[in-house]
Amino acid sequence: MIEATWVWAVLGIVLIAVEILAIGTLYVLWFGIAAICLAIATWFFPDTPYAIQFIAFAILSLGSLAIWRRYYKRNDTSSPVGQSQGEEIGRVGTVVEATSPTQNGLIRFTQGLMGSREWMAVSDEVIEINSQAKVIAVEGNALRITKIS
């Protein structure tokens, strides 16, 4: 019969390989690590009953997963293409089409902003062509600007 040590070791390696190759969520990783820990434990204590092994696997797996979930802080940097991350707030550009509260305009930047140099602009005040304006917010596909005095 196959020794429990090898069963736990193979299970751990398979689970870790599945995590690395396919899933990438880090959930299966903890089950793989728990299986490897049990392989090491059964190496030192080969007469451990199967019930104790399964209970230890469950406790190690779910405990480590719960601890990881509690302290893991996901930095969600993925956003749909063209969506703002906040870096453009405060950028200064030149108005190339006048803007007012009733009319959208166009603002141009010397360096590209989110993949483009020109953006539709909206404002709460009249801003003439060739005026310098600062981005104060991103609203959908337009930038809310204010005139620099």
- How do residues 88-132 score in pLDDT, each as one tens digit? 788 888 899 989 888 889 888 877 656 677 888 899 899 888 889
**Domain boundary pick from 71, 100, 125:** 71
Please check whether residue 78 lies inside any domain of the structure: no
Domain tally for the chain? 2
Based on the domain organization, do 8 and 63 belong to the same domain?
A: yes
Based on the domain organization, do 61 and 109 belong to the same domain?
A: no
For 127, the domain range is: 92-147
* CB within 8 Å of 142: residues ≥ 6 apart: 104, 119, 120, 121, 122
**Domain boundary pick from 71, 101, 126:** 71
Give exposure, 27-59, as e/b (b: 16+ Cβ within 10 Å).
ebbbbbbbbbbbbebbeeeeeeeeeebeebbee
Look-up: residue for tokens 């019969």? 1
**Residues 34-67: tens digit of each pLDDT:** 999 999 999 998 888 999 999 999 999 989 888 8
